[in-house]
Every structure is written in structure tokens, then in C-alpha cells.
Amino acid sequence: MELHSAGEDAIIVYLGHATSPEVAARVQAAVTAVTQTLGPDLVDLVPSYASLLIIYDPLQTDHLSVSHRVRAALQSLQAADMDAGRTVILPVYYAPESGEDLEALAANAGLSIEEVIALHSGSEYRVYAIGFAPGFAYLGQVDERIAAPRLATPRQKVPRGAVAIADRQTAVYPATSPGGWNLIGRCPTRMFDPDASPTMPVNVGDRVRFEPINREQFLTLGGELG
């Protein structure tokens, strides 16, 4: 475990150096431990792949006290329960009309479209981080055979619900936005709805499975094309 002062009101803790379910489970366990130990001095937390950014109130406490308490709390961190978190099923309509890069990605990988779909929907993913935009969940790890680098020129407009791959990460775009990931399908489930409770179907630490659906099912579930 490494701990550093990150700014006037923040420290960052590293619980590993690479993306793995074990490190992610430790990050999750650290979220719970830090929340308990800092109580009202804690302002916000940003868990990510291998780190936890801890934001505190610098007018109530200081980095020495926070570092000391966090170190003590994490020393006794139990080997986290890797099965914690829920499993969420997200339906996906995989097709060239819903995923503009599906054909190119398959061709580059030397696979058929059906094989790409089978590989993408055949793995269970973990929610490693949420950020970039409200509700944008970084899921990993994608099978190496369908990993693909970001587009050289990002698109100005990626539609809401787009299911995409970048390197060994995959995600569902929560809102229409610019983006450089490879689009392979469309998910009708809203990933971020400020008026819904909960606002997101997934949390960091949850597991996600993608379930292939056809065009008709996609439209029935409220999906939109175009």
C-alpha cells in the first residue's frame, strides 16, 4: 500500500499497480474502511482501478491526521470478499446497424461478427471505476482477442446506450457525447438517469454480463436506433 498527499484536500492510496479483480476487491474494501474511519471529515471518494482518492475537509482536519487514520484502517484490511457486489445483466443488440465499428473490429481481429459477439457476451466483467462523465462505468477485462485501440479520430457524437471497446475495457455510453471507443452494439438500459432511483444500474465492484438480444427485443425494451 502506498499513500501520498495529492492536493490541499486530498490523499491518494494505491492498493496495487495493475487491473485485476483482486486489486479491485481491495479498493472496494478500502472504500468501506475509509468511510468508517473518517466519518464526517470525509468529503468525497473516487475509487478507480488500483487506487482510491480520498477528499477531506482541510478546515476540520489535516493530511497528517487523515494519512494516519487511513493507514491504520487499511493495515487491518481483510482480504476482501471477491464475490461481493451484485451481478447485473445488460441486454445488447449487437449488429452493424447498432455498432458501427463491429465489422471493422471483427475484420481486424480475424474473427467473424458472431465470434466477436460470443466473446464479448461470454465474459463476466467487473465495474472498475465510474467517471469521465456521469454514469460512465469502466468495465474490464475484455478478452484479448477482441481488445481494440481507441479510434485515431474520436467521433463528435456517440449515441446514448452505445456499447464500446477500448483496449481491454468496455462500457455503455450513459449519454450522447463525443468518444473514441469502438462501437459494437447498443444497450437499451439507461446507465444514468438523474430522475431515477437508483440513478445507475451498477456500482463500482459490481459484476456485469451482456446478454445478446435481437432488433425487435431491443426496440421493445425502449432502445433507439439512429
Contacting positions for other proteins (CB under 8 A): 4-10, 12, 17-19, 43-53, 55, 58-59, 62-63, 129-136, 138, 174-175, 192, 194, 199-200, 203-204
Which of 122, 178 has the CB closer to other proteins?
178
Nearer to other proteins, 93 or 138 (CB): 138
When the beta carbons of 130 and 148 are compared against other proteins, the nearer one is 130
* 190-194, Cβ contacts within 8 angstroms, sequence gap of 24 or more: 190/160, 190/161, 191/135, 191/136, 191/137, 191/161, 192/134, 192/135, 192/136, 194/134
- CA separation for the pair 20, 11 (Å, rounded): 22
Nearest distance in Å: CB 174, other proteins: 8
Q: How far is the CB of 162 from other proteins (least distance, A)?
A: 16
* Nearest-angstrom CA–CA distance, 74 and 10: 17
CB of 32 to other proteins, least distance (A): 12
The distance of closest approach from Cβ of residue 96 to other proteins in the complex, given in angstroms and rounded to an integer, is 30
- Min dist. Cβ of residue 47 to other proteins (A): 7
Q: Return the sign of the alpha-carbon dihedral for residues 110, 111, 113, 117.
A: negative
Q: Which has the closest alpha carbon to 183: 114, 103, 125?
A: 103
Torsion-angle region of residue 124: left (phi > 0), alpha (psi -120 to 50) or beta? Answer: beta
Helix (H, G, I), strand (E, B) or coil at 103: helix
> Which one, 14 or 118, has the nearer CB to other proteins?
14
Cα–Cα distance measured from residue 65 to residue 199, given in angstroms and rounded to the nearest whole number = 34
Residue 194 vs 226, nearer CB to other proteins:
194
